[in-house]
Structure 1
Amino acid sequence: MSSDTENAELKDFYKKILALLSIKEAEVAFDSFMAYTELLNIILETHGVELAKLTKSHLFLLLYYFLGCELKKRGIMTEFEFEKIKKEKFNELEIEYNPTPIPTNIGDTANKKNFCGLFDSFLEKLKKQTKTPSCIGVVK
């Protein structure tokens, strides 16, 4: 794959991810996005994820979760809330509460409340899927 093709695909990912996160290009420059992709590449390598086995869809989700996590940590992304407080009014009584999602698995809600949890879960899943099993012995 040529460098121009890779750069065009990354620009496409950049625009789509920023649109999904409701962030303007002025808030996260393409150079910053490229720095995040390099950091993500290093994280994947150190976690033992085989990059050659990842599809474009895997890469897009990883970038989406990772960028969402990092921008949330840095305070750039403030409007996208997983744990938004809901307000409801009953006649003259106003109630504020945190809606709790219905868990499908035990421990499921803890990981799905933020981008960082989603990123960590997806990274572990990919690590298991892409890991080449080691050879234990030879059968004759």
Structure 2
Amino acid sequence: MKYIVTLVCVLLLTGCATTAAPNFFNGHYYMAGDSSCVRVRSLSYRRVMCMDKKGVETGYRDAMTYEELQMYQMHVQNQQIQMQQLNQQLQQTGEAWQRVGQQIQQVPQYTAPQVTPITPPGGYQTRCIQNGIYVNCRSNY
């Protein structure tokens, strides 16, 4: 169960690894860190030029406002809350499956009832009649 939770978290976090996030540079926060803005250089007081991993300029970005930074932080907090809720749901599901497994183990093993064989009244008998060299036998089963 812990393996599944860890796997889900790792998958979600690696999906975010190449997305932009606020980065502090020259006294301001800029959305950078994605594939088109691996590095930045200052253009003006509140503007940077983005470059990809090869150093090719991909465009400029302005510094984030206080409100934009707050919105980003709220978004991250909401994602964390959603991850916690997902984690709780996964734990609850795992516990439910454990209970089901324990209940299955507690079911008694089925044993077939003992059956007594059906015998005719008086039991099994074979009667033979001899007449000279001839013998005639009859069984009642």
Which category of TM-score, normalised to the shorter sequence, fits these structures?
under 0.3
> So what's the TM-score if we normalise by structure 2?
0.27
The structure, 1 or 2, with the larger RCO (C-alpha pairs under 8 Å, 6+ apart) is 1
Structure number with the higher strand fraction is 2
> So what's the TM-score if we normalise by structure 1?
0.27
